[in-house]
Structure 1
């Protein structure tokens, strides 16, 4: 009789473990789905941030080129932009000179 009870307890524990396994697998699937959803939302937000950063940069450049009533930071940015433009023009001139040689 003891052996039958021992086997029955083992079977009960096995059933409990199987239920826990199924629940854990279901939870895991749900969490994976949520993770995928959050990752796609994060990518969308990163794309939005990049787009807004580009718009901000363009707005700063537009403001810097107008030049009226600029703050010190804006004036420094304007000088920086002009410097970069001048560097690009010099590089283009060098390339043209090399092509003409």
Structure 2
């Protein structure tokens, strides 16, 4: 009789463990889906940030072009000019790559 009770308790505990395992598995699936959604959101936000940074640079360029020599600090002005030259060079390189792809 004692053995039967012991076996019954072990079976009950085993059933509880199986039930908890299934719950943990389903929770794991939900969390994995949530991670995918969060990763997608993060990637989209990074793209948005990059686009906004590019727009900011273009706005700085436009502001510099329309200021018509408004007084600025010389060092900042030179650094900004170098940055603009670098950006223009990057655009030229990208255009050259596109032309090369079109020609091949």
Normalised by the length of structure 1, the TM-score is 0.72
> 1: CA distance between counterparts of 2:71 and 2:45?
31
Following TM superposition, where does structure 1 have runs of at least 4 consecutive aligned residues deviating by more than 4 angstroms? 68-73
Runs of at least 5 residues in structure 2 that lack an aligned partner in the other structure: 89-104
Deviations 1:9-45 (A, max 9, x none): 0000000000000000000000000010011011001
> 2: CA distance between counterparts of 1:70 and 1:17?
75
Distance 1:81 1:71, change over 3 A: same
What's the C-alpha RMSD, in Å, of the aligned pairs?
2.4
Task: Give the number of aligned pairs.
Answer: 85
Structure with bigger gyration radius: 1
Give the number of the structure with larger relative contact order, counting CA–CA contacts within 8 Å between residues 6 or more apart: 2
Distance 1:66 1:32, change over 3 A: same
Runs of at least 5 residues in structure 1 that lack an aligned partner in the other structure: 89-101
Normalised by the length of structure 2, the TM-score is 0.70
Alignment-derived partner of residue 96 in structure 2: none
